[in-house]
């Protein structure tokens, strides 16, 4: 069967109010366009109860209009690196077209792990060094004799809404 891609269009904030809860809850929903049929739709899917406390994804497996399978986002989500507390996300600059795409993918990844939407702040793009072998303290080592790599990383702080 063919597969389609979906293009992220924008996010919309929705106020949710219930009779027993007067404080409106804000839910952020993502709007996509299917590249096969060009219909636009809100992608968010959630399930509650039936053994699930709360589980959510930002986009469905199939386009709700033409029924084509949507290419997996799991591979894409691997580009987002999380710390253990899930409050700092990082991504290599070269994996993203721009900062907006990085933020969008952080939010999507967070939602797939936690079922919740999130906010991001303190976004920075900076050069970082990494080494597998490490370098000895108090020595002078030519860079070419190390396995040090220098790459530009986006980093941001993340908190649930």
Among 9, 14, 45, 66, binds Zn ion (CB under 5 A): 66
Give CA 120 to chain center in angstroms: 11
To Zn ion, the closest distance from the beta carbon of 58 in angstroms equals: 17
Q: Residue 115 and residue 47: Cα distance in Å, rounded?
A: 9
Q: How far is the CB of 63 from Zn ion (least distance, A)?
A: 3
Contacts with Zn ion by CB under 5 A: the residue count is 6
Instruction: Please say whether the beta carbons of 112 and 77 come within 8 A.
Output: yes
Please report whether residue 92 would count as binding Zn ion according to CB under 5 A: no
Residue 6 or 118: the one with the smaller Cβ distance to Zn ion is 6
31 contributes a contact to Zn ion by CB under 5 A: no
List 27, 31, 37, 57, residue binding Zn ion (CB under 5 A): 37
Evaluate whether 158 touches 86 at the Cβ level (below 8 Å).
Answer: yes
Contacts (Cβ under 8 Å, ≥6 apart) of 141: 135
In the block, residue with structure tokens 């199939």: 62
**Of 25-33, 57-65, 132-140, 152-160: span binding Zn ion (CB under 5 A):** 57-65
Q: Is 63 in the site for Zn ion (CB under 5 A)?
A: yes
Report the residue number, 31 or 36, with the smaller CB distance to Zn ion: 36
Residue 144: which H helix or E strand, with range? none
| CB-nearer residue toward Zn ion: 35 or 116 | 35
The residue among 115, 110, 112, 114 whose CA lies nearest residue 156 is 110
The contact set with Zn ion (CB under 5 A) reads 34, 36-37, 63, 65-66
């Amino acid at each position: 069967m063919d597969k389609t891609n979906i293009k992220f269009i924008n996010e919309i904030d929705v106020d949710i109010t219930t009779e027993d809860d007067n404080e409106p809850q804000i839910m952020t929903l993502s709007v996509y366009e299917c590249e096969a049929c060009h219909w636009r739709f809100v992608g968010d899917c959630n399930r509650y109860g039936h053994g699930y406390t709360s589980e959510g994804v930002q986009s469905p497996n199939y386009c709700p209009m033409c029924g084509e399978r949507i290419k997996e986002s799991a591979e894409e989500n691997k580009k987002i690196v999380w710390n253990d507390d899930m409050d700092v996300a990082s991504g290599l600059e070269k994996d993203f077209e721009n900062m907006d795409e990085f933020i969008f993918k952080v939010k999507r990844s967070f939602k797939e792990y936690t079922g919740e939407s999130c906010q991001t702040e303190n976004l920075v793009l900076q050069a970082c060094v990494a080494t597998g072998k490490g370098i000895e303290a108090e020595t002078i080592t030519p860079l070419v004799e190390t396995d040090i790599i220098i790459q530009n990383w986006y980093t941001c702080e993340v908190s649930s809404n």
